[in-house]
Structure 1
């Protein structure tokens, strides 16, 4: 049996500690400035009429690179906006009096001390949402939640309707909630729990995110501001063992270390669904956690900001979780997130006249809603070399030398990689590989959003362990096509007596896809190996079951009948 996890038994998390409110260093300013200069030079090169090639490939380049350049610019702008420290005098004053002034309270065990705000005691609930995760994963999270300092009530919200999870909650001393229906998926699960729990504040943790004991002590003092809706902390990972986990984990590191803190300046930091604590009044003000999207966290944040509520992000790692370790888990996670982002773009565009946001908030939410377009851009760029090799269609004029193209191209991409290397502290080829090969997921997500298709819901940690090749058929087909194209290009270049940029570019793309497929084959072998059986502890308990009257905050998930077990491959 795997030993239950605690908040301290993980390997080093993916997100290094960051001093809250630390302004970008002079080196950071220099890096951003150089990267911005490279971006401008590349944009100028592409838009120069003298460099225009054939219309179709040139238009494809402009579309793809416009998305990438715009995201790079706004990302750097947000990073340079960082440095605002949300911990002001009022925060520290509130923290000093968090447990009141009664000496008897100070002598109580840390998890029994009743927290106070504005001199009055407050109720706090901790929600752990589950939907079929491994029992020992849930056990570790529940035990850690019970040990969080500050009096609170721990609830296990089980949409998997598991008697084993019910018994686990009873054994660990947590309350257990099971609904009769799964309407609204995770958002509906939380909304239903709010009809049972009555605390003024509630924290939410996914079943695979283990909170640290100081979580409430570090977040509750921010709520001295009565217009603060939620405090979000990073997602950090302790299971970076596979290519997929490392790529997925480090893909988010820059976002949590620099982008989210920068958004504090614009009151635009948004909820990411876990490791967050809400003010109940703010959630009720927007009629509960938003249920009609795959990205209920971002949608709820948008609604709260429109209603005039504030948000705070702190870069302190206060919970450590698990990144998706398999291609199946990663694909379903990204499909869910990307579909939700595109839904915002298509149905609640931040620049619509009826959206009540400041200009800075509009920009930040537009960047969020269009972010996953950067995942589609690689597909467009992958098709350019074959167009030149087979059809002799070139994005740039024949007069533009390969070296000139490469220098401008490298001036943008190499500097972006160098900037990412500086912020992460190391080079992560897994992140670049995942970013280059995930385009089928984002194309499908955009199609789902355009058609209003419900992709269903599955927790990241509950992948069924099927062959990874079930989820990467498009990548396999494109790899075969690029490999054959490389052969044709090499033969053509041998006849011409020189190596063309198109062939070199295509061979590079083929190698990147091959690297990903090798990782998929390795994962497939690992999944086919037998795994040890688990024997969970069990103890009977009373189940709190939803009644029809308990669903005030639970409208139907998606745009049609919910089928939560539906596969998304």
Structure 2
């Protein structure tokens, strides 16, 4: 979807008694269906092939060192260009089929009119698929982000249409975040340690919750109210494992943020939609909805890589599950704004991609993927090699300026070389202009200046060096940008000196060569990146001076995440709230007392105890009817049990339960199927009620009425009359 400089979208206006309509077709969807796109992509593909033939014709070869650099670098680009063009041609497919539309129409059953009649909107309306009730857990993963960003995300998540429970999974263990969750009506969960980073955080949450579906949102992605309405109906198809939505950014203000955001425009507008045709659309870590039983079948979210999203997607596809990507913008977040955050983000992403290439090569033997899926995942695993290509090409002009080593033979006419070279790159620009709608020079700048990041990521994956987890937009002390761009600064100085030498040679020879022009262009690009680092460094220095001044005045600001919570902490009892009834109903027994603290500590293994704060939104205590079978075509082997945050995926055994997912007596689900039999929770003994002998043989309804009469007058309007009747008897 298009990346726009906008704030998070407001709640869509709609009539109070209507279901949200399907969003209108966006420009990218119209372009994807355009016959002109097919023609332009076809011409671009021809240009790629012609340039490849020209480049690999040894009759055009110049000197071997420069020629090999060009061949290796351009090979990376050619392979990615062909895979991308092939995928873009398939992007016109709309995954919203008849099954989706029917499921969306019946998502709230006959509750919509009743829910609207009492004026509470659709937030608490129970959802159903194929006439079976569905429950949803929303996981918001946090790790030191600014409290203001977390507040916006939690508020939006809690306010989403459809009954759901929101959990704040705080690996930062912040007391401020805990209090914020309590204030906004979300559950708060903190685990012991931070093993396996985000993947371990989500897996721990899966071990203590029971929702049929679960949503993952990063702490800085604000969801629209209709997020569940637009994604949950896809799960009416029992083969769908997850539904992914695009990442859209609302902070495109600086050069780094604009470049980082625009770099993903084509991916979310055309590449991911095209992968739907091959059942190869993969998870991107946020703004995604998973089917719990599908994830449990592969042992949980993959924990052995920092790119847990792509690895998890590939494991699900190997088991035959389907994935869906929709281009509708349903959440707006933050892209990196500083060189530090951009460098850490790209390093983590690239390391994860190269790990797939080296440790689970999609083209290797033993991969249970279709040919289309193999090619798509191979393109994903090798994508960041394109980022290394500019670093190789930067060396070509200096070789010619200092040593006279040229990649192309001097016998090849310049116009011939320019025809093939321009035919390749010019058509790539035309495709970008047609699909995106404009040329983004910030993307070109970052793509050229980021080659040291991808070289380091390649070495990390090859040598299996662990890459520390980093958070986009994390709150804390900012480091100097020059700490992270030493190779870029050295390259800029080298190219600047080379440009001076090249201009001096051109004046002596009275001929301005293409190598000199090429080198000057590279120098300007890296120079713009260094200037951006200088501006950022001045901002950091100014912020440091202001902080020192506050400290001298004794007014140092108190950090939002200074105070830490201590684990384990038992869930606080949630106050039961009576739903507003549409019509008079038969009184029900009062809720059972909360579990005793000592019993809860003994019942929960130490490694699974968590900090939990109950939110006010109640969930059903029981689910009377199980979901339909996930895969009617063929039975599946027993699902492996989700590992703990510190154990390998092969650990087996029952999942430890923790009374955090719902009220007392909530049904628990085992790893082997969609639902298991209800397991009542321990409870304290209620106040004894001794009915009369005549009442002992009465019906269950009479006995319930007798119990309610002792529980208070809130369930029975004639309780005083009942007590007078008992006294007379």
What TM-score, normalized by structure 1, do the two folds share? 0.92
Give matches, 1:508-519, under 5 Å. Answer: 508-519=521-532
Query: What is residue 78 of structure 1 aligned with on the other side?
Result: 87
Q: State the shift of 1:21 in Å.
A: 8.7
SS in 2 for 1:453: coil
Does the Cα contact within 8 Å between 2:91 and 2:273 map onto a contact in 1?
Answer: yes
Q: State the shift of 1:45 in Å.
A: 1.7
160 and 558 in structure 1: CA distance in 2 versus 1, 3 angstrom threshold = farther
Query: What is residue 325 of structure 1 aligned with on the other side?
Result: 337
Q: State the shift of 1:8 in Å.
A: 2.5
Q: State the shift of 1:109 in Å.
A: 2.4
SS in 1 for 2:195: coil
Tell me which of 335, 359, 365 is aligned to 2:371.
Answer: 359
Q: State the shift of 1:408 in Å.
A: 2.2
Q: Are 2:492 and 1:479 aligned? A: yes
Deviations 1:180-205 (A, max 9, x none): 11111000000000112210000000
**Which whole-Å CA distance do the structure 1 matches of 2:263 and 2:644 have between them?**
33
Q: Pick the structure with more helix per residue.
A: 1
Q: Are 2:461 and 1:449 aligned? A: yes
Query: What is residue 8 of structure 1 aligned with on the other side?
Result: 10
Q: State the shift of 1:310 in Å.
A: 0.5
Deviations 1:82-131 (A, max 9, x none): 22211111111111110112443454521100110111211101110000
Q: State the shift of 1:74 in Å.
A: 0.8
Q: Are 2:78 and 1:69 aligned? A: yes
Tell me which of 155, 160, 163 is aligned to 2:172.
Answer: 160
Q: State the shift of 1:47 in Å.
A: 1.6
SS in 2 for 1:529: helix
**Which whole-Å CA distance do the structure 2 matches of 1:419 and 1:6 have between them?**
29
Tell me which of 108, 114, 124 is aligned to 1:104.
Answer: 114
Does the Cα contact within 8 Å between 2:222 and 2:331 map onto a contact in 1?
Answer: yes
Give matches, 1:93-492, under 5 Å. Answer: 93-102=102-111, 103-105=113-115, 107=117, 108-462=120-474, 464-492=477-505
> More relative contact order in 1 or in 2 (CA 8 Å, sep 6+)?
1
Does the Cα contact within 8 Å between 1:106 and 1:113 map onto a contact in 2?
Answer: no
SS in 2 for 1:205: strand
Q: Which piece of structure 1 moves more, 32-41 or 76-85?
A: 32-41
Gapped regions of structure 1 (runs ≥ 5): 10-15, 560-569
431 and 118 in structure 1: CA distance in 2 versus 1, 3 angstrom threshold = same
Deviations 1:283-340 (A, max 9, x none): 1001000000010000000000001110000000000000000010000000000000
Q: State the shift of 1:528 in Å.
A: 2.7
Query: What is residue 13 of structure 1 aligned with on the other side?
Result: none
Deviations 1:234-261 (A, max 9, x none): 0000000010100010100100000000
Deviations 1:436-474 (A, max 9, x none): 110000000000001111111011111642111111000
Q: State the shift of 1:411 in Å.
A: 1.6
**Which whole-Å CA distance do the structure 1 matches of 2:511 and 2:414 have between them?**
12
Tell me which of 486, 503, 507 is aligned to 2:520.
Answer: 507
Q: State the shift of 1:40 in Å.
A: 1.9
**Which whole-Å CA distance do the structure 2 matches of 1:409 and 1:403 have between them?**
10
Deviations 1:184-229 (A, max 9, x none): 1000000000112210000000000000000000000000110100
Does the Cα contact within 8 Å between 1:180 and 1:547 map onto a contact in 2?
Answer: no
234 and 523 in structure 1: CA distance in 2 versus 1, 3 angstrom threshold = same
Q: State the shift of 1:549 in Å.
A: 4.7
Q: State the shift of 1:66 in Å.
A: 0.8
555 and 534 in structure 1: CA distance in 2 versus 1, 3 angstrom threshold = closer
SS in 2 for 1:128: strand
Count the aligned residue pairs.
549
**Which whole-Å CA distance do the structure 2 matches of 1:527 and 1:209 have between them?**
26
Q: State the shift of 1:75 in Å.
A: 0.2
57 and 419 in structure 1: CA distance in 2 versus 1, 3 angstrom threshold = same
Q: Are 2:534 and 1:524 aligned? A: no
Deviations 1:335-388 (A, max 9, x none): 000000000000000011111000000000000000000000001100001111
Determine which structure has more spread, i.e. the larger CA radius of gyration. Answer: 2
Does the Cα contact within 8 Å between 2:318 and 2:367 map onto a contact in 1?
Answer: yes
163 and 534 in structure 1: CA distance in 2 versus 1, 3 angstrom threshold = same
Deviations 1:258-283 (A, max 9, x none): 00000000100000000000000001
SS in 2 for 1:116: strand
Does the Cα contact within 8 Å between 1:18 and 1:315 map onto a contact in 2?
Answer: no
